[in-house]
Amino acid sequence: MKLFPDRLVDRLNRGLDRVYLIAGPEYLLVEEGCDAIRAAVSAAGIGERIVLEADARFDWSRLDGATETLSLFATRRLVEVRLPSGKPGREGGAALRAWVEQGSDDVLLVKCGAWDLSQEKSAWARELDKAGVYVPCWTVKAGRLPEWISRRLASRGLRADRAACQFLAERLEGNLLAAAQEIERLALLYGEGARLGVDGLREAVTDSARFDSFRLVELVMSGQAGAAVRCVRGLRETDTPMPMVLSALSRELQTLAAFQQRAPQIGEQAAFKELRVWPSRQGPLTAAATRLRAGRVRHAVARLSDLDRLIKSSEAHGFWIALERLSVDLAAAGQDQRVA
Q: Same structural domain for residues 53 and 123?
A: yes
Q: Looking at the domain assignment, is residue 272 inside a domain? A: yes
Q: Could you give the percent of the chain with pLDDT greater than 90?
A: 47
Q: Is residue 194 located within the same domain as residue 311?
A: no
Q: How many residues does the chain have?
A: 340
pLDDT digits (tens, 9 = 90+) for 78-106: 999 999 889 999 999 999 999 999 888 89
If asked whether residues 287 and 321 sit together in one domain, one would say yes
What is the Cα–Cα distance from 36 to 181, expressed in whole angstroms? 18
* CATH number of the domain that residue 47 is part of: 3.40.50.300
218-273 pLDDT, tens per residue? Answer: 889 989 899 889 889 888 887 888 888 888 899 899 999 999 999 999 999 889 88
Residue 247 lies in a domain: yes
- 217 plus 285 within the same structural domain: yes
Mean per-residue pLDDT over the chain, rounded = 86
Q: Using H for helix, E for strand and C for coil, what is the string for 111-128? A: EECCCCHHHHCCHHHHHH
Beta strands at 133-136 and 159-160: parallel, antiparallel or unpaired: unpaired
Q: Average pLDDT of 195-206? A: 79
Give residue-wise pLDDT tens across range 175-200: 787 788 788 888 877 888 889 988 88
- pTM for this one? 0.63
* 337 assigned to some structural domain: no
8 Å CB contact between 110 and 96: yes
Domain boundary (159, 191, 207) is at: 207
Is residue 93 domain-resident?
yes
User: What pLDDT is attached to residue 68?
Assistant: 64
Kindly state whether residue 340 falls inside one of the protein's structural domains.
no
Q: How many domains does the chain have?
A: 3
- The domain that holds 288 is classified in CATH as 1.20.272.10
Residue span of the structural domain in which 319 resides? 213-332
Q: Say yes or no: 226 and 306 in one domain.
A: yes
**Whether residues 63 and 162 fall in one domain:** no
